Structure 1
């Protein structure tokens, strides 16, 4: 597996702050992302790191600027086009897991495949293999019976169901204890360093920042250290 190179230029995202005023949440001149990198978007609450993550993934559309992955500009695509790009290229991991409590771990991993043309048998085999890889008990009838750390590992397995080239994670360790968080940090590190995927994480977790290839620190939507915008040579 090899990730995709990504690049953002002149990226800006605004929200309405009043009847006539708008507030800029992200103002990013340039950012490059390369396969094999784990890039951490860091900053306190309200710094714009999650908003930037959603812009880079096409979940949000910028007021200005471009986000291109391997030359494909998400900002220029239709909503359907962005959905298709994410389906084919991206996996998502969220702070609150977004699992379906009534389903088993395997069935939760399989949810992205509900509308896939791939065979159910092959997808289920991959789901079971991913759960085994991340040490998740597969004999639970409901995912709600798992610990929070195990639930987040189910969410990581779900993100990998279609073998994505790019992983986006939003505060993936924020609701976990230290031991569970360490397992998630190690998994994200290996997805970049070993499997050469492109991994982008919004987080203020020191353990995640410590294993990141680069940390892009934000303050009120703007970059604090410009040197972090480019990969190390």
Structure 2
């Protein structure tokens, strides 16, 4: 069970303007532990901005974000960084792994940055990579396939047992087979590990697998359909 996962993610009255463009206009969103929500919408509609606000990397003009029961609004930069390390995991479109590190070192990094024991972090990273089917013994990160890199990125996001798992176009750069495998993994780990999953995607087939699908357009979120889960 994710630490602090009993509260999941709660977004209330989120407003954000970029110049004259209103990207978020009073956005409301709740994702409970073990739940999955996919957000779709046209390019430039503010989907990634919503994720950045949840991460605390973009300060909204108004509104509130709570992660794992912790209020992010108004926290200093150092406090936000600590909340990110302890309560959130993030999977980017291209994995964002460091090629100079081994897969185990990449996955262990968030735990090490949180002050975790070196041996425990490496042991946990090795276990996660094995669980997710990523080769790591004597393997350079740069030699992993696209699908393997994304699975390693999921492992890295999970190592701190986050309350909230965020994914920004996590299957966008993958071939169809790898896309299905990574989508399976994301929805399965959210459900089995009890973390709230918020996924942004242009891929409607991936979005349809979420428990709920929402569309962000003209600054507001609207229900598309009730998902069928994964």
TM-score by length of 1: 0.89
Equivalent position of 2:9 in the other structure: 6
Runs in 1 of length 4+ with deviation above 6 angstroms?
Answer: none
1:231 aligns to what? Answer: none
Larger Rg: 1
Partner of 1:143: 141
- 1:227: Cα distance to partner? 8.8
1:16-95 to 2 correspondences below 5 Å: 16=19, 22-95=20-93
Aligned with 2:181 (options 177, 183, 200): 183
Equivalent residue number for residue 167 of structure 2: 169
Helix, strand or coil for the counterpart of 1:25? strand
Contact 2:86–2:114 under 8 Å retained in 1: no
Q: Assess if the C-alpha contact under 8 Å between 1:105 and 1:140 holds in 2.
A: no
Report the CA distance between 1:48 and its aligned residue: 1.1
Q: Which moved more, 1:212-221 or 1:115-124?
A: 115-124
Provide structure 2 residue ranges, at least 5 long, that are not aligned to the other structure.
Answer: none
State which of 201, 213, 219 in structure 2 corresponds to 1:215. Answer: 213
Partner of 2:101: 103
Summarize the Cα distance change of 1:81–1:116 in structure 2 as closer, same or farther, 3 Å threshold: closer
Where 2:25 maps in the other structure, the secondary structure is: strand
Q: Offset at 1:41? A: 1.1
SS in 2 for 1:194: helix
Deviation at 1:67, TM superposition (A): 1.1
1:5 offset after TM fit, Å?
A: 2.7
5+ long unaligned stretches in structure 1: 17-21, 229-233
What TM-score do you get using the length of structure 2 for normalisation?
Answer: 0.90
Query: What corresponds to 2:18 in structure 1?
Result: 15
Contact conserved, 1:37 with 1:199, CA < 8 A, in 2? yes
- 2:115 is aligned to 117
